């Protein structure tokens, strides 16, 4: 498909968001929209993974990189995700901790954008999350040298089988120990934007900008402005 000019246009008609209806803190507004997205996904065929986020980093040369991950943590410190220390994102964050993370829900005509710095998730919190992962996902995390090349699919499956043999599925919570390369980051935001699609592309953008050191739920730490669409 080379010419998309005939592709149907959608006029976005969300209820919008404004200075009067936005919650008092970025945390409260994020929690409300994420909860609504999760609820909508439960009843909307084809609406999968409402907690998927795009995560952007830059490499040592300033070259941007972006990929989708699942937001596994969400509290008033910011959204967080898990990954592998072998990954490109881990290398990039080690040299430049600046990060951007976006939830995008096109079917709801909504998005939330965070910009800030990545903070590593502590070992206890990571371990608590690790225990909730299904056995197969634990084994896959052990078997994969994420983002590194491998000859073919067979080699990947052989690595999976080796780790399965090493840590059989006993059903015990700690059947598979968390590997040392399992890691995660949380975004400590300095800016959070709530975008709501409106008719004729005259969208709403309400932006919280950090003015203090508090959490996402500290009203004194954030100033609100509206940006043009
Ligand atoms: C829906 C979806 C969910 C994903 N979830 C994760 C995740 O939680 N953690 C992760 O490391 N990669 C996840 N991935 C894979 C990443 O997009 C990416 O391929 C991987 O993290 C390697 O990225 P990097 O080489 O830029 O570090 C997911 C991909 C998709 C499409």
CB of 185 shorter than 6 A to ligand 1? no
Q: How far apart are CA 132 and CA 136, in angstroms?
A: 12
* Closest CA to ligand 1's atom 30: 68
Q: How far is the CA of 183 from the centre of ligand 1 (A)?
A: 13
Quote the CA–CA distance of 46 and 147 in Å, as a whole number.
28
Q: If you take atom 14 of ligand 1, which residue's CA is the nearest one? A: 69
Q: Can you give the pLDDT at residue 1?
A: 59
Task: Note the pLDDT of residue 5.
Answer: 82
> Mean pLDDT per 10-residue run, the chain (229 residues)?
82 94 97 98 97 98 98 98 98 98 98 98 97 97 98 98 98 94 98 97 97 98 98
Output the CA 68–ligand 1 centroid distance in Å: 5
CA distance 57 to 114: 12
The dihedral region occupied by 152, where left means phi > 0, alpha psi between -120 and 50, and beta the remainder, is beta
Going by CA atoms, what residue is nearest to atom 19 of ligand 1? 67
For residue 53, give the nearest of 90, 82, 32 by alpha carbon. 82
Among all chains, which residue has been given the structure tokens 């040298």?
145
For the Cβ of 83 lying below 6 angstroms from any atom of ligand 1, the answer is yes
Instruction: Domains for the chain: give ranges and CATH numbers.
Output: 26-131+182-226 (2.30.110.10)
Please spell the DSSP secondary structure of 71-97, one letter per residue.
EEEEETTEEEEEEETTSHHHHHHHH--
The whole-number pLDDT of residue 7 equals: 86
Per DSSP (E only), the strands in 109-221 are 110-120, 182-196, 204-210
**What are the counts of helices (DSSP H) followed by strands (DSSP E) for the chain?**
5, 8
pTM above 0.95, yes or no: yes
pLDDT at res. 42: 98
């Amino acid at each position: 498909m080379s010419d998309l000019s005939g592709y149907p246009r959608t006029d976005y008609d969300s209820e919008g968001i404004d200075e009067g209806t936005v919650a008092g803190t970025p945390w409260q507004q994020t929690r409300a929209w994420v909860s609504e997205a999760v609820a909508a996904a439960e009843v909307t065929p084809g609406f999968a993974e409402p907690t998927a986020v795009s995560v952007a980093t830059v490499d040592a040369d300033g070259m941007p990189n972006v990929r989708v991950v699942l937001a596994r943590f969400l509290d008033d410190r910011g959204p967080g995700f898990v990954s592998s220390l072998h990954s490109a994102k881990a290398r990039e964050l080690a040299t430049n901790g600046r990060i951007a993370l976006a939830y995008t829900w096109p079917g709801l005509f909504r998005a939330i954008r965070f910009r800030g710095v990545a903070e590593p998730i502590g070992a206890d919190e990571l371990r608590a999350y690790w225990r909730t992962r299904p056995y197969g996902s634990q084994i896959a995390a052990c078997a994969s040298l994420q983002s590194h090349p491998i000859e073919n699919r067979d080699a990947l499956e052989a690595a999976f089988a080796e780790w399965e043999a090493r840590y059989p599925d006993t059903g015990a919570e700690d059947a598979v120990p968390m590997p040392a390369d399992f890691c995660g980051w949380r975004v400590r935001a300095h800016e959070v934007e709530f975008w709501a699609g409106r008719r004729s592309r005259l969208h709403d953008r309400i932006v919280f900008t950090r003015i203090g050191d508090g959490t996402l739920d500290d009203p004194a730490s954030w100033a609100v402005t509206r940006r043009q669409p």
